[in-house]
Structure 1
Amino acid sequence: MIGGLLHAIGFLTRIPVPARVFDDGRARRQSLAWYPVVGLVVGVILCALAWAWPPSLLSAAVMLVVWVASTGALHLDGLADSADAWIGGMGDRARTLEIMKDPRSGPAGVTAVVLVLLLKFAALASLPAHAWQLLWLAPMLARAALTAAFLTTPYVRSGGLGSGLTDAPRTACMTAVSMAVALCAVAGGRGIAAFAVATLVFLVWRRACLRRLGGITGDTAGALTEVLEAVVLVTLAAP
Structure 2
Amino acid sequence: MRALLLAIGFLTRLPVPVHAYDDVRTKAASLAWYPLVGVLIGLLLGVLAWLLRDTPSMLSAALLVAAWVALTGALHLDGLADSADAWIGGMGDREKTLAIMKDPRSGPAGVVALVLALMLKFAALASLGPTPWAALLLAPTLARAGLAALFLTTPYVRSGGLGTALADAPRQACGLALLLTAVGCALFGGRGLLALLLAAAVFGIWRQACLTRLGGCTGDTAGALAEMLEVALLVGLAVR
TM tier, smaller: over 0.9
Query: Contact between 1:128 and 1:237, CA under 8 Å: does it hold in 2?
Result: no
Partner residue in 2 for 1:141:
142
Residues 1:125 and 2:121 aligned together: no
Query: How far did 1:159 drift?
Result: 0.3
Partner residue in 2 for 1:151:
152
Superposition pairs of residues 45-194 of structure 1, within 5 angstroms: 45-54=44-53, 56-128=57-129, 131-194=132-195
Query: Contact between 1:47 and 1:134, CA under 8 Å: does it hold in 2?
Result: no
Q: 1:70 to 1:131 in 2, by over 3 A?
A: closer
Query: Contact between 2:135 and 2:233, CA under 8 Å: does it hold in 1?
Result: no
Distance, in Å, in 2 between the alignment partners of 1:198 and 1:35 is 15
Query: Contact between 1:134 and 1:187, CA under 8 Å: does it hold in 2?
Result: no
For the residue of structure 1 that corresponds to 2:15, the secondary structure is coil
For the residue of structure 2 that corresponds to 1:108, the secondary structure is helix
Letter of the structure 2 residue corresponding to residue 156 of structure 1 = V
Query: Contact between 1:29 and 1:168, CA under 8 Å: does it hold in 2?
Result: yes
TM-score by length of 1: 0.97
Letter of the structure 1 residue corresponding to residue 227 of structure 2 = E
Distance, in Å, in 2 between the alignment partners of 1:73 and 1:199 is 23
Query: Contact between 1:131 and 1:236, CA under 8 Å: does it hold in 2?
Result: no
Unaligned regions of 5+ residues in structure 1, if any? none
Query: How far did 1:18 drift?
Result: 1.1
Distance, in Å, in 2 between the alignment partners of 1:130 and 1:52 is 10
Residues 1:23 and 2:58 aligned together: no
Query: How far did 1:199 drift?
Result: 0.4
Partner residue in 2 for 1:14:
13
Query: Contact between 1:197 and 1:231, CA under 8 Å: does it hold in 2?
Result: yes
Distance, in Å, in 1 between the alignment partners of 2:204 and 2:85 is 21
Distance, in Å, in 1 between the alignment partners of 2:119 and 2:129 is 18
Distance, in Å, in 1 between the alignment partners of 2:204 and 2:62 is 30
Distance, in Å, in 1 between the alignment partners of 2:149 and 2:143 is 10
Distance, in Å, in 2 between the alignment partners of 1:227 and 1:199 is 12
Count of matched residue positions in the alignment of Structure 1 and Structure 2: 238
TM-score by length of 2: 0.97
Distance, in Å, in 1 between the alignment partners of 2:162 and 2:63 is 30
Distance, in Å, in 2 between the alignment partners of 1:230 and 1:83 is 15
Q: Deviations over 1:197-225 (max 9, x none)?
A: 01000000000000000000000000000
Partner residue in 2 for 1:217:
218
For the residue of structure 2 that corresponds to 1:181, the secondary structure is helix
Query: How far did 1:19 drift?
Result: 1.4
Letter of the structure 2 residue corresponding to residue 14 of structure 1 = R
